[in-house]
């Protein structure tokens, strides 16, 4: 039997692909953080924490180009696949696995116990 405080990774449903505009994003609000889900060119999907590694700007409000997003506050460019800032800037934002089943989106996050699987999503 698993302890309530044991951490594990789990897939959680976060909505439909059709709710995310092309070259746009959706915010998934979790109790512990907000995650931005990006729909880039070619329907490539990425999930990253919605906090720029520079000064915590909302990456979900940035401009998506290729597989990158430009932060709306000070224009750092972040690689969506790795979360790494593009040089000369240095920093990294956390990324998450994402998968598509039909049109349903799932992200893989660490959850504690059984009570934190609730997610609310908002189109950015
Ligand atoms: S907060 Fe993102 S570039 Fe400064």
Q: What is the pLDDT of residues 86-119, one digit of tens each?
A: 999 999 999 999 999 999 999 998 865 544 455 6
**CA 93, CA 33: separation in Å to the nearest integer?**
12
Q: Quote the pLDDT of residue 121.
A: 63
Q: Quote the pLDDT of residue 32.
A: 86
* Closest ligand 1 atom number to CA of residue 62: 2
- The answer to whether position 2 is within a domain reads no
pTM of the model: 0.85
- The answer to whether position 53 is within a domain reads yes
Strand segments, DSSP code E, in 1-124 are 7-16, 24-29, 34-40, 44-49, 63-65, 68-70, 77-79, 95-101, 104-112, 120-123
117: CATH: 2.102.10.10
pLDDT-derived band at 2, boundaries 50, 70, 90: very low
- The answer to whether position 118 is within a domain reads yes
CA of residue 86 to ligand 1 center, whole Å: 12
Ligand 1 pocket member 77 (CB < 6 A): no
Percent of the chain with pLDDT strictly greater than 70: 83
What residue numbers bound the domain in which 113 lies? 7-123
State which of 48, 70, 73, 79 you would mutate to test the pocket of ligand 1, scoring each by most atoms of that ligand within 8 A of its C-beta.
73
What is the tens place of the pLDDT at every residue in 43-93? 999 999 999 999 999 999 999 999 999 999 999 999 999 999 999 999 999
pLDDT-derived band at 5, boundaries 50, 70, 90: very low
CA of residue 78 to ligand 1 center, whole Å: 10
């Amino acid at each position: 039997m698993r302890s309530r405080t044991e951490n594990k990774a789990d897939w959680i449903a976060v909505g439909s692909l059709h709710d995310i505009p092309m070259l746009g994003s959706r915010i998934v609000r979790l109790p512990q953080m907000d995650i931005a889900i990006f729909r880039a060119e070619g329907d490539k999907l990425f999930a990253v924490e919605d906090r720029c590694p520079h000064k915590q700007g909302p990456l979900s409000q940035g401009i998506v180009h290729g597989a990158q997003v430009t932060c709306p506050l000070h224009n750092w460019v972040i690689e969506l696949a790795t979360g790494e800032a593009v040089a000369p800037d240095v920093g990294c934002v956390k990324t998450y696995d994402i998968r598509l089943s039909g049109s349903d989106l799932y992200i893989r996050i660490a959850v504690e116990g059984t009570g934190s699987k609730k997610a609310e999503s908002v189109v950015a």
